[in-house]
Amino acid sequence: MKAYVSLWSADLLNLGAAVDQLGDVVDGFHLDVFDGHDVRDLLFGPAHVAALRQRTGAVLDVHLNTTDPDYWVDRFAEAGADMITVQSGPCPDVGATLARIRGHGCQVSLGLEVDEPVSQAVPFLPGIDRLLLMGTVIGVKGHDQDPGTAGRVSELVAARPGGPAPEVVVDGGIRPHTVPGLAAAGADGVVPGSLVFGQPDPRQAVAEIHALRPGVAS
């Protein structure tokens, strides 16, 4: 499985050290963007991405949770994002926003929230690189993963138009006891936070995620 490691769980006063430690082993660094409106918190801006772009060649995976995603797509793409995820709710025209991301040369990712049916994402699967499936409510930490998440992974994998694309990656509730079940259900990757940064050896934690194979029970 792939590991798009969430920098929200890193030492926020020392992000440079986090990317230096893990940049050569992660599949990407995940950056949640909260604007205080769509999510009632503030987290990560374009300046963070620009600074990280100067520090690492790893994939910078930006997850927009904002009320004006089209504006922020432009800002974060210009700052150096490699992949941008949008939630469908704030987008006046989801297809147009996804095309906007593609137009910047970024990988295109669509988020699916816990309360949104899998059927909502299916029409967009042929045109995206990744489906980011939320296992918890956006903007909170420490919550248990919704028990239906692995089943939703299976539904999305079955609904893919053919081949391995788009990737199905799970964000939220990524714990030692949930990751094997997500892999068995066919998830291509996860967004770990404390599962990596809370361990004595974060590099080993990433290696253990990589050792799991989608569709194979551990």
Q: Which helix (DSSP H) or strand (DSSP E) does residue 65 occupy? A: strand 60-65
The 3-state DSSP class for residue 64 equals strand
**β-sheet bridge partners, residue 171:** 134, 191
At position 2, the amino acid (one-letter code) is K
The rounded distance, in Å, linking the Cα atoms of 71 and 90 is: 12
Q: Tokens 């790893």 belong to which residue?
A: 58
Burial class (CB in 10 A: 0-12, 13-18, 19+), 201: exposed
How far is it, in rounded angstroms, from Cα 3 to Cα 73?
23
Residues of 96-135 as b/e, b for ≥16 C-beta within 10 angstroms? Answer: ebbebbeeeebbbbbbbbbebebeebeebbeebbbbbbbb
Residues assigned a catalytic role: 32, 171
CA distances from 130 to 32, 134, 164, 188 (A): 16, 13, 10, 10
The letter for the amino acid at 130 is R
Tokens 């798009």 locate to 4
